[in-house]
Structure 1
Amino acid sequence: MLTNLFTIFDPSTFIFSLNWMSTLFLLILFPHFYWLFNSRFMYLYKYFLKILIDEYKIIMKFNFNLNNLLYFIVLFLFIMFNNFMGLFSYIFTSSSHLIYSMVFSLSMWLGLMIFGWFKNTKFMFAHLVPQGTPFMLMFFMVLIEMLSNIIRPLTLCVRLTANMIAGHLLITLLSSFIPKMIFMYFIVLLCQMLLLVLEMAVSIIQSYVFVILMILYMKETN
């Protein structure tokens, strides 16, 4: 019996503390690429990637770069697959930890800030004051823009982590009621299945939002 509801996210709940290795489970999907004939899964996967590439091209516009596109697609797939892996039983949910999303958000944010301030210094200074700001409010707006820029990596990682934790906690709470509510067993089970479908949608949406915000932050430094 769990002494604390949040122990389901504890990396050392099992015998071995190698639960973070679950982030590498998505490597199991890679051998599908080397088959001579594509399966239905691969057709669906390639169709999904095509939609993703077209969407990112529209957002990037003039800042389109093949290297950036490949990076963002890989980042999206990595986060999405790890979100999905956390929905399986007895698999450690790595995307529900701040350290997981902080690695991506903080490293990307630092790289963009270094690039922007060294290569586009005038543009970065101009971005601190929105166009049309009255002179008396300029100094105040600079502080607000700097603060909003600094907390960006924190908001990115907290958004992803909080959404993953919320869904898993709801599923865990509902599963604890099943033994006590025998007469409503099928109703609780149906609610749990609906929550599971919702969590699958959230896994895709949160990874998409994470990458989209990364692209928008990148556009602000160019």
Structure 2
Amino acid sequence: MTGKNFNRSFIRAALAAVLALAAIPAFADPATTAGMGADSADAPSDSRAALPESMSLSDRALMLASDINRLIVPGSRPANATATPVTGRAQSVLARAFALLGTPYRWGGTSTEGFDCSGLVGYVFRNALGVELPRVAREQAQTGMQVERSQLTAGDLVFFSTHSSGVDHVGIYIGDGKFLHAPRTGRDVTVSQLDSGYWNGKFVQARRVAGI
């Protein structure tokens, strides 16, 4: 695939995913998922949306930062919970993360050509906040302060174990019981449910990076 064609496909996929997130109350995980790997996940199918090819990654991030709270749609929040607007550094993290929706998964990937789970998290925090995180998920799970699942806020890191060997997957909590992550080979950066479905049972812990 040429650079021009890749750019067009990437932009269309990213904004299609953003529009889907804004319009749908919650992404549903399949009841069962077979063959889940270290960076595995369900992912909603994406439709294609026409967008100016000249829109850069930075432009998308700025656009999303100006209206990030519109993208976190109520749907799975408990009835007695109160929505908290995303502001400041957490807003910067989410804006950068949302701008990467639709980027393909690539094992060992750390750039917009493709990410694995920890590569995506590292890229977002480096470019949004100038924070350098460890390269792999199990080491990122030692970063910052551990937080209770009930106290999660946007920008926190959520960690999972898909095998018996400990932490092997990471994503960024976006609020409303959802997190953004790079799933596995054949999938794109997407949003999944944390409070139900496959990932609910694989959750291990959450960490808050200093400054969020």
Query: Considering the TM-score relative to the shorter chain, is it more than 0.5?
Result: no
The structure with the larger Rg is 1
TM-score under structure 1 length normalisation: 0.28
Normalized per residue, the structure richer in helix is: 1
TM-score under structure 2 length normalisation: 0.29
